[in-house]
């Protein structure tokens, strides 16, 4: 009974999809045909970052320096599955277009190079550079595979390296590791930032089921000052990739600190996910009244996300890895594997008296959205649906506003793929169903159920919904990023049709509806 409304919709969608199968065949004029073969393989993201080839996971070393955004990432240059980790490197001037750079960090005798962060040592506290040419310092985890295979628990340590030539060549510090292992199996992913309160460096480290905070004056010698989280948040898996930063509550002078912790497994919709905590930081200790977990994104494909150090205007810019360890190694791409989320700006809002961490595409993303067709206002009668052709296939953005809270969408093509998502007022939930969305059988876990996102604090009235659709991903931003779902999809052919269903007995109004083309970034 509980799922009756949803099941009825699924049936209706499938009937409509199959009845319409051969009508309007291929009347769509494809305006999104790429001009070159570069980045044109099946499923290749057209406006998301992906490596030219081979395996990628977490974003690392996000830092802005001299007008350039750096993106380092977990990279294995010899295969499309995870292996001995390096740091790949790319740079961007606008956070939209990316330039590939040489691999920055290679494994050495201390181990593989796992996730971490990067800082600009402006005061040359490390002595690696000069005041005139301050070093970029990368802080990362060494993972010694031989140690792990021998059944030891001390195989993860922390190391540092620096670059003085615009980050194209790197020197590892001779005194590595700078933090040895105290006998904790999962002891990794250092996030370092300049601590304004105490005028020194702060490092966050995860240690199994909690986060540790360490301070240093020179990036080489570290002292642990506190820990956080053993009794807070979700603990269905190991804590990974911490981050922490201050944000002003929008429209006020109140400042709160936000902690991000990725966890695998243990996310509400299965496998990997990123939780957040809102609280206070006194330079040494993070405290919060929040006990239960909150999630930055309730889709299945936003993991290990962290934010930029030194971004202009104090902006807090987040990038996540658009995959999930449940099936990351099995997705059906051949030359490369996986992509990053769109870069998103994080802000803190108070909605109905509750602090909400909001994530929403950066302004600069609008630069590659072309004007497309004129915005339309739609009224969908009770129990009816509206069907429209997608003009730009899977390289588009759908955007609209509505006050309705009961609406279902179906993206489909004429080979029978169907991706269903929408809001259900009775349960106050957003539903995402990729079970019939295309290729799903590469791993059982990929499409085993319907994903659900409670919309418990969504304000009443009109909300905006924004949906960038790239070849193998869909990101759904509800109410300017108060609720977000990011998911991979592998349709057998690009979706061609969008249907909007009104399952209620009242007319549904959708205003300012736009489907616009998103330009590819790889020419
Ligand atoms: C997160 C993670 C990190 C680790 C890295 C290894 O996805 O497991 O904890 O440093 O990936 O590639």
Pocket of ligand 1 (CB under 6 A): 57-58, 74, 85, 114-115, 141, 188-189, 240-241, 304
The pLDDT score that the predictor gives to residue 10 is 52
Distance CA 507, CA 3 (A): 22
The pLDDT score that the predictor gives to residue 7 is 54
The pLDDT score that the predictor gives to residue 15 is 45
The pLDDT score that the predictor gives to residue 393 is 86
The pLDDT score that the predictor gives to residue 6 is 53
The 3-state DSSP class for residue 106 equals coil
Question: Can the peptide bond before residue 321 be classed as cis, meaning omega within 30 degrees of 0?
Answer: no
Encode pLDDT of 244-264 as tens digits: 999 999 999 999 999 999 999
Mutate which of 54, 56, 57 for ligand 1 pocket (most atoms within 8 A of beta carbon): 57
Please give the distance, rounded to the nearest whole angstrom, from the Cα atom of residue 114 to the centre of ligand 1: 6
Mutate which of 54, 58, 321 for ligand 1 pocket (most atoms within 8 A of beta carbon): 58
The pLDDT score that the predictor gives to residue 458 is 98
Atom 9 of ligand 1, nearest CA residue: 240
pTM: 0.94
Please give the distance, rounded to the nearest whole angstrom, from the Cα atom of residue 59 to the centre of ligand 1: 10
Taking the mean position of all CA atoms in its chain, how far away is CA 62?
13
Mutate which of 83, 86, 114, 185 for ligand 1 pocket (most atoms within 8 A of beta carbon): 114
Mean pLDDT estimate for the chain: 93
Please give the distance, rounded to the nearest whole angstrom, from the Cα atom of residue 240 to the centre of ligand 1: 7
Distance CA 164, CA 143 (A): 25
Distance CA 74, CA 262 (A): 15
Encode pLDDT of 64-73 as tens digits: 999 999 999 9
The minimum-distance atom of ligand 1 relative to the CA of 85 is 12
Among 509, 515, 480, smallest CA distance to 403 is for: 509
β-strand 54-65 against 336-337: which pairing, if any? Answer: parallel
The minimum-distance atom of ligand 1 relative to the CA of 303 is 7
Quickly count: other Cβ atoms within 10 Å of residue 363's Cβ. Answer: 10
The minimum-distance atom of ligand 1 relative to the CA of 82 is 12
Taking the mean position of all CA atoms in its chain, how far away is CA 108?
29
Please give the distance, rounded to the nearest whole angstrom, from the Cα atom of residue 115 to the centre of ligand 1: 6
The minimum-distance atom of ligand 1 relative to the CA of 325 is 7
Mutate which of 76, 77, 189 for ligand 1 pocket (most atoms within 8 A of beta carbon): 189
Distance CA 144, CA 111 (A): 4
Among 82, 208, 54, smallest CA distance to 145 is for: 82
Distance CA 42, CA 40 (A): 7
Q: What are phi and psi of 138, to 5 degrees?
A: -100, 135
Please give the distance, rounded to the nearest whole angstrom, from the Cα atom of residue 261 to the centre of ligand 1: 12
The minimum-distance atom of ligand 1 relative to the CA of 206 is 9
Report the chain's C-alpha Rg in angstroms. 23
Choice among 24, 32, 37, 58 that is catalytic: 58
Encode pLDDT of 300-351 as tens digits: 999 999 999 999 999 999 999 999 999 999 999 999 999 999 999 999 999 9
The pLDDT score that the predictor gives to residue 19 is 39
58 is catalytic: yes
With the CA atoms of 295, 361, 37 and 85 taken in that order, what torsion angle do they form, in degrees rounded to the nearest 10? -40
Per-residue pLDDT tens, the chain, 523 aa: give them. 334 445 545 554 444 443 333 333 333 333 455 557 999 999 999 999 999 999 999 999 999 999 999 999 999 999 999 999 999 999 999 999 999 999 999 999 999 999 999 999 999 999 999 999 999 999 999 999 999 999 999 999 999 999 998 788 999 999 999 999 999 999 999 999 999 999 999 999 999 999 999 999 999 999 999 999 999 999 999 999 999 999 999 999 999 999 999 999 999 999 999 999 999 999 999 999 999 999 999 999 999 999 999 999 999 999 999 999 999 999 999 999 999 999 999 999 999 999 999 999 999 999 999 977 789 999 999 999 999 999 998 999 999 999 999 999 999 999 999 999 999 999 999 999 999 999 999 999 999 899 999 999 999 999 999 999 999 999 999 999 999 999 999 999 999 999 999 999 999 999 999 999 999 999 8
β-strand 86-92 against 99-105: which pairing, if any? Answer: antiparallel
Encode pLDDT of 488-506 as tens digits: 999 999 999 999 999 999 9
Please give the distance, rounded to the nearest whole angstrom, from the Cα atom of residue 154 to the centre of ligand 1: 16
With the CA atoms of 431, 435, 437 and 441 taken in that order, what torsion angle do they form, in degrees rounded to the nearest 10? 150
Distance CA 280, CA 287 (A): 5
Please give the distance, rounded to the nearest whole angstrom, from the Cα atom of residue 141 to the centre of ligand 1: 9
């Amino acid at each position: 009974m509980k799922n009756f409304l949803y099941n009825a919709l699924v049936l209706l969608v499938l009937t409509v999809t199959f009845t319409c199968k051969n009508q309007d065949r291929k009347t769509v004029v494809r305006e999104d045909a790429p001009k070159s073969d570069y980045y044109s393989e099946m499923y290749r993201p057209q406006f998301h970052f992906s490596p030219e080839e081979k395996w990628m996971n977490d974003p690392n070393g996000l830092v802005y320096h001299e007008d350039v955004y750096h993106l380092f990432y977990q990279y294995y240059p010899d295969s499309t599955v995870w292996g001995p980790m390096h740091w790949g490197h790319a740079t961007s001037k606008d956070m939209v277009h990316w330039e590939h750079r040489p691999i920055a960090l290679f494994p050495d005798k201390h181990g593989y190079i796992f996730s971490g962060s990067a800082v600009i040592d402006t005061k040359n506290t490390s002595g690696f550079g000069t005041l005139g040419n301050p070093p970029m310092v990368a802080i990362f985890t060494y993972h010694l595979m031989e140690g792990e295979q021998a059944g030891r628990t001390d195989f993860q340590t922390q190391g540092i390296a620096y670059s003085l030539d615009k980050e194209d060549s790197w020197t590892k510090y001779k005194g590595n590791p700078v933090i040895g292992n105290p006998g904790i199996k999962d002891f990794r992913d250092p996030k370092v930032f300049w601590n304004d309160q105490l005028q020194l460096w702060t490092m966050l480290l995860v240690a199994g089921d909690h986060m540790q905070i360490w301070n240093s004056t020179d990036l080489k010698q570290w002292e642990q000052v506190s820990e956080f989280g053993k009794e807070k948040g979700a603990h269905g898996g190991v804590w990974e990739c911490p981050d922490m930063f201050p944000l002003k509550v929008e429209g006020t002078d109140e400042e709160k600190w936000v902690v991000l912790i990725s966890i695998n497994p243990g996310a509400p919709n299965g496998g990997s996910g990123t939780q957040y905590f809102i609280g206070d930081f006194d330079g040494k200790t993070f405290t919060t009244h929040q006990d239960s977990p909150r999630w930055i994104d309730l889709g299945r494909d936003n993991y290990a996300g962290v934010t930029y150090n030194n971004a202009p205007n104090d902006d807090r810019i987040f990038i996540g890895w658009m995959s999930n360890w449940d099936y990351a190694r099995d997705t059906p791409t051949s030359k490369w594997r996986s992509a990053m989320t769109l870069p998103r700006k994080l802000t803190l809002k108070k909605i109905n008296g509750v602090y909400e961490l909001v994530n929403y595409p950066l302004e600069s993303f609008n630069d590659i959205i072309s004007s497309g067709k004129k915005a339309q206002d739609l009224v969908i009668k009770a129990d009816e649906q509206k069907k429209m052709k997608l003009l730009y296939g899977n390289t588009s953005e759908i955007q609209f506003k509505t006050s309705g809270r009961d609406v279902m969408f179906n993206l489909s093509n004429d080979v029978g793929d169907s991706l269903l998502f929408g809001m259900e007022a009775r349960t106050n939930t957003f539903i995402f169903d990729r079970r019939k969305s295309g290729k799903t059988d590469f791993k059982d876990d990929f499409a085993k159920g319907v994903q659900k996102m409670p919309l418990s604090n969504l304000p009443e009235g009109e909300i905006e919904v924004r949906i960038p659709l790239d070849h193998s991903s869909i990101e759904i931003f509800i109410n300017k990023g108060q609720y977000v779902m990011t998911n991979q999809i592998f349709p057998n052919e690009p979706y061609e049709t969008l249907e909007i269903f009104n399952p209620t007995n009242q007319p549904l109004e959708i205003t300012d509806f736009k489907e616009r083309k998103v330009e590819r970034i790889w020419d």
